[in-house]
A and B are shown apart, each in its own frame.
Chain A
Amino acid sequence: MKSGRFTKKNGLFVLQLGAVLLLPFITDALLGRGWVRIVDFAMLYIMLALGLNIVVGYAGLLDLGYIAFFAVGAYCFALTGSPHLALAFPQLFPAGLHLSFWQVVPLSALLAGGFGVLLGAPTLRLRGDYLAIVTLGFGEIIRIFLNNLNAPINLTNGPQGISLIDPIAVAGVSLNAGEEILGITFPSVHLYFYLFLAFTALVIFVSHRLEKSRIGRAWMAIREDEIAATAMGINTRNLKLLAFAMGAMFGGVSGTLFAGFQGFVSPESFSLMESVMVLCMVVLGGMGNIRGVILGGVLLALLPEILRHGIVPLQQALFGRTVIDPEGLRMLLFGTALIAVMLYRPAGLWPSRVRRSELEADEPESTI
């Protein structure tokens, strides 16, 4: 009986893995190439949501400017991986710096993590609300800087953004050109999908390992009751900083992936609304619950597309014009979802691991 369940479980896993690996081809065949790109973006959002989940879900710290770390990572690659530095410092970098993606990843992780510490340090001693406000402010401030640091030294190229970012290359193969492997043609968006998949898997792995560790337990203790946590000897300030820095690092790495994928970054990709969207993913799916957060990420990343393809034609058919634009409707739904989930289903859409394992554990032992 037990071994039977074991193989069944294994079989299911193989099936799921296969489905995920074939996802770009299935999507391509059924919905078209454009949707593969949408799926790629969804993966980026899942990574962001998982990063924010460490901060909000595990440690219970509300970060409302999370997208700023994404921006830090994106601009980090944009500056070091494009000809742009030649404009800012023509003597120093006549052709730009052109670091490779793999060199930039640790750099942007460190930089974003450093920003996280800088931002968290003054607020983490205080009540949680202050962190929320400061991060909210930081999210806006970083955008103001990105928009204005084109003079007197052109660092960010202002609202126009930075383009011509080098494509990401894996083992010498640029992901921007399609590639033929074993007779199968992999278009560029497919290749990026597999790269993002690998990074997402890494983020899931790290999240999972942290969750079930001494550090993860300490974070959750802080989330549940900070005073009780200090009374247990937990250095809440250091652990909160750690959570904040880790979350920021994930944000930074996702930003670097984003910059390489798009080949272009501009300040408007990093608005407050993006922060809110990532927060929504975490809250809606279930704070502190990896599966829930992934579900939230998938749902919300696809939502605007569904709205665009569903609501607009529907309105056209009903009223003959677009009464509510999908962008506004999306934000309206986000706002409502945040309120409704907190009021009626604070654990999110996906029932948490603990509650299920509790139910499972109760049965056999209670019969004894």
Chain B
Amino acid sequence: METFLQQIINGLVQGSVYALVALGYTMVYGILGLINFAHGEVVMVGAMLVISSLTAMLSWGVPLLLALPISVVLAMAGCMALGYSIERIAYRPLRHAPRLAPLITAIGVSILLQNLAMMIWGREYHAFPQLIVSQPHHIGGAIINDIQIIIIIMALAIMAGLMLLVHRTRLGRAMRAVAENQHAAQLMGVDVNRVISVTFMLGSALAAIAGLMVSANYGLAHYYMGFLLGLKAFTAAVLGGIGNLRGAMLGGLLLGLIESLGAGYIGDLTGGFMGSQYQDVFAFFVLIAVLVFRPSGLLGEQLAERA
């Protein structure tokens, strides 16, 4: 029972991160119909920027309460600039090209970012600075620490904010209009290019926060961390129904739970044949299962190719 509760907690924390990253995939997909392969790398860059700026400022003696918000804002700004440039350079010129073309440039961007990051930050793991003495809390035998609580609350708050933005503001309305029908939106006076840029920046800002969360939770960041995280977050987006914001959140949390429960119990399930080293495999099987049985995802509509 304790393990069960513990796995639920771990799953919710991990799932919150997936949800934030999945939102980035789903927003871009909803508007452009494109899988932004480079999104995982944006998360990685966000994590690296937070760690670097935070470490630097702390070593200069900047107080934590000042240093943390500054470094988060820095990372968000950096990621937004990055997201904006990715779209302008690699995707926009190919908007009317065959499908394959933007997919290939997306892969190119992803590799480029990964290796640039490796050159800047090296191959080693970067430790997240110890910010607070994270108090462990005991809930029915399971442990949750302060950082994990903050992650869950923050993720929920951000998601609520995003829903307000999309459903209650002019910008949100423009985004939904472009997602529905780009051409019609343009005729109605929506600046489609601007909306697309903003969407990329918004997704990248979320990615930066996700980068902060994941590196704070594990205490580590690495130039290769974006790849698997991106793959899983994409799976979460598909699970929820790609293009659907609530779907991305639901899919993220669900995938986090599936993964941590799976990793916790796979040993028992397979009679010891497989252990928790197979944790990363679950997301993949979830992806395949969703594609086979419900390709539109839990909350998505039919995914027909547009005629």
CB distance from B272 to the nearest CB of A (A): 7
Residues B258-307 near A (CB distance < 8 A):
272-275, 277-278, 280-281, 283-284, 287-288, 291-292, 295, 303, 305, 307
Which residue of A133, A137, A141, A144 contacts B277 across the interface (Cβ within 8 Å)? A144
CB distance from B279 to the nearest CB of A (A): 9
Query: Binding site of A, secondary structure by majority: helix, strand, loop or mixed?
Result: helix
Residues of A contacting B108 with CB < 8 Å?
334-339, 342
Q: When the two chains form their complex, are residues B35 and A132 in contact, meaning their CB atoms are under 8 A apart?
A: yes
Count how many chain A residues have C-beta atoms less than 8 Å from C-beta atoms of the other chain: 47
10 A-B pairs with the lowest CB-CB distances in the bound complex, closest first: A338-B108, A335-B112, A335-B111, A339-B108, A137-B284, A122-B292, A331-B115, A129-B35, A342-B105, A332-B115
Residues of B contacting A332 with CB < 8 Å?
111-112, 115-116, 119
Q: When the two chains form their complex, are residues B291 and A123 in contact, meaning their CB atoms are under 8 A apart?
A: yes
Count how many chain B residues have C-beta atoms less than 8 Å from C-beta atoms of the other chain: 52
Residues of A contacting B238 with CB < 8 Å?
130, 133
CA–CA, A195 and B238, complex, Å: 45
B107 interface residue per 8 A CB criterion: yes
Residues A305-330 near B (CB distance < 8 A):
324, 328
B142 interface residue per 8 A CB criterion: no
Residues B35-56 near A (CB distance < 8 A):
35, 37
Which residue of B94, B101, B115, B291 contacts A134 across the interface (Cβ within 8 Å)? B291
Q: When the two chains form their complex, are residues B280 and A60 in contact, meaning their CB atoms are under 8 A apart?
A: no
Q: When the two chains form their complex, are residues B278 and A144 in contact, meaning their CB atoms are under 8 A apart?
A: yes
Q: Would A128 and B103 be within 8 Å (CB), given that A136-B231, A152-B273, A343-B94 are in contact? A: yes
Interface contact tally, CB-CB below 8 A: 128
Q: When the two chains form their complex, are residues B278 and A122 in contact, meaning their CB atoms are under 8 A apart?
A: no
Residues of B participating in the A interface, judged by any CB pair closer than 8 Å: 34-35, 37, 89-90, 93-94, 97-105, 107-116, 118-119, 227-228, 231, 234-235, 238, 272-275, 277-278, 280-281, 283-284, 287-288, 291-292, 295, 303, 305, 307
A276 interface residue per 8 A CB criterion: yes
Residues of A contacting B119 with CB < 8 Å?
324, 328, 332
Residues of A contacting B100 with CB < 8 Å?
56, 60, 62, 128, 223, 287
CA–CA, A141 and B284, complex, Å: 8
A-B contact pairs, 30 of them (CB 8 A): A60-B100, A62-B103, A122-B288, A122-B292, A126-B291, A126-B303, A127-B305, A128-B100, A129-B35, A129-B99, A132-B37, A133-B238, A140-B228, A140-B280, A141-B280, A145-B281, A148-B278, A223-B98, A223-B100, A224-B98, A324-B119, A331-B111, A331-B114, A332-B115, A334-B111, A335-B109, A335-B110, A335-B111, A335-B113, A335-B115
